[in-house]
Structure formats: structure tokens, C-alpha cells
Amino acid sequence: MNHREDEKLKAALKQALPPMADVELGRDLWPQMLRKLGEQAIRVPWWDWTLAALVASSFFFFPRAIPVILYLF
Amino acid sequence: MNTHPYLRAYMAGIAVPTLALLAIMTAFTIARHVYDVPLPMERVIVFPMAIVPNLFGLWNILYVAMGSGRRLPIGFHGATLPFVLAPIGLTMATSLGFLTLGQDALVWFEVLSIPYSILVAIFLVTLIIYYLVWKYLVAFLNGQLGIA
């Protein structure tokens, strides 16, 4: 491919792919990103804390259950 | 484009018990080799290593397949899994010889006697653990993989 064919190819490509008119974002994404970062990822209700405490106390009062539960997990 | 939701559901499902298996293996190994508890490791570990993770994966596929209209909340869906797992686990433990059904109690590993009345409480605790694990861990993984 010689220099002249290169130029023709370049011109054909430019014609086929016109430059994009508007490359700027329509809005600022940073506030949305900050809001997302500030969100609490997981909200644990009080009854789930109660259930977790119940599980922990059952292990404390009846440690023999631990191997059985490990086996079933 | 096929996004393979069931494959992702399976992977999200098996992740938690696979990680838990590390802790379980460690606990059983310490019990066996440090405290000399007569645990037949190679027989005990089959159920937590092979059956439990696969059932978690399949249960999560079922959760995704049921669609948002028909399924239970994920915590309750997970809490129903021990109703399937426990009979399989107890049957395997009995047939592999490390669980004996006594008159008043189950005897695990020939040393650990658990009365039947306490067994009900243990099952309830297991349900709670499954509820919490599915509600927070499996649901988190499902969210990360964009399936539920």
C-alpha cells in the first residue's frame, strides 16, 4: 500500500466515522457517587441481632451442639 | 445474550459453605489430632464437603428460578433448607457409623451424647443460623452477581 492509498483510506475512514458532536457528560456524576458511598450497605434489624445473640448464647450454654451444627453446615 | 443466571446462582450458593468448610475442617482436625477425639475424619467430612455446598447451590438456583412473584423472602427460603439437609445428614452419619441412635439420646462419634429433647433446640438454632446466613451472606452474593 503506497502513500496515496494511505491518504485515500484515511479520508474514507474520516468520512465514514464523523467526529462525535457532544462528548461531555450531561450531568455531574460525583454527587451521586458520594451519595452511594455514604449509604449504609447493610441494615440489620433488631430482631436479627436478637436471633444472632440467641445462637451465640446457645453455643455458650450447650457447647455440645457446636459439632452437630458444624456437621450440618 | 444468555447471562447464565442459574450458573451464577449456583456459584453464589456454594460460596458460603465452601468458605465455612475451611473453619469446619480446622475445627475437626484440631479436635482429632490435638484433643484426640475419635473422629473418623474421612467419613465425617463427606457430608459438609460434598453434599452441603451442592445443596446450597441448588437451593439458590431454586430461589432464582421461582421468580420474584412466587418465592419466599431469601432468609425464609434458606431456613427451609435444613428440613432437607438434616435427614440426609443424619442418614449418612448413621450409615457411615459415627452416629448411634440410643434410647434417650443420639451418640455422635461414640463420645458426644445429645438427648432428643435438646436435639429439637439444636435444630431450631440451625434454622436461625440458616436464616441469617441466607438473608445476609447469600443475598449479598446474589446482589453482587446481579441475580436477585
Q: What is the pLDDT of residues B96-123, one digit of tens each?
A: 888 888 888 888 877 788 888 888 899 9
In chain B, domain spans: 5-144
Q: Do A70 and B17 count as a contact with CB atoms less than 8 A apart? A: no
Q: Does B126 touch chain A (CB under 8 A)?
A: yes
Q: Do A71 and B89 count as a contact with CB atoms less than 8 A apart? A: yes
> SS3 of A6, please?
helix
What is the DSSP code string of chain B? ----HHHHHHHHHHHHHHHHHHHHHHHHHHHHHTS-----HHHHTHIIIIIHHHHHHHHHHHHHHHHHHHPPPHHHHHHTTHHHHHHHHHHHHHHTTSEEE-SSEEEETTTEEEEHHHHHHHHHHHHHHHHHIIIIIIHHHHHHTT--
* A interface test, pick of B74, B122, B130 with most A CB neighbours within 10 Å: B122
Q: Find the CB nearest A73 among B17, B112, B131.
A: B17
pTM of the predicted model, to two decimals? 0.77
Q: Does B27 touch chain A (CB under 8 A)?
A: yes
Q: Do B129 and A73 count as a contact with CB atoms less than 8 A apart? A: yes
Q: Does B28 touch chain A (CB under 8 A)?
A: yes
CA-wise closest residue to A70 among B112, B33, B35: B112
Which pLDDT tens digit goes with each residue over B48-88?
Answer: 888 999 999 999 999 999 888 888 899 999 999 999 999 99
Which pLDDT tens digit goes with each residue over A22-41?
Answer: 677 777 888 888 887 776 66
Q: Does B122 touch chain A (CB under 8 A)?
A: yes
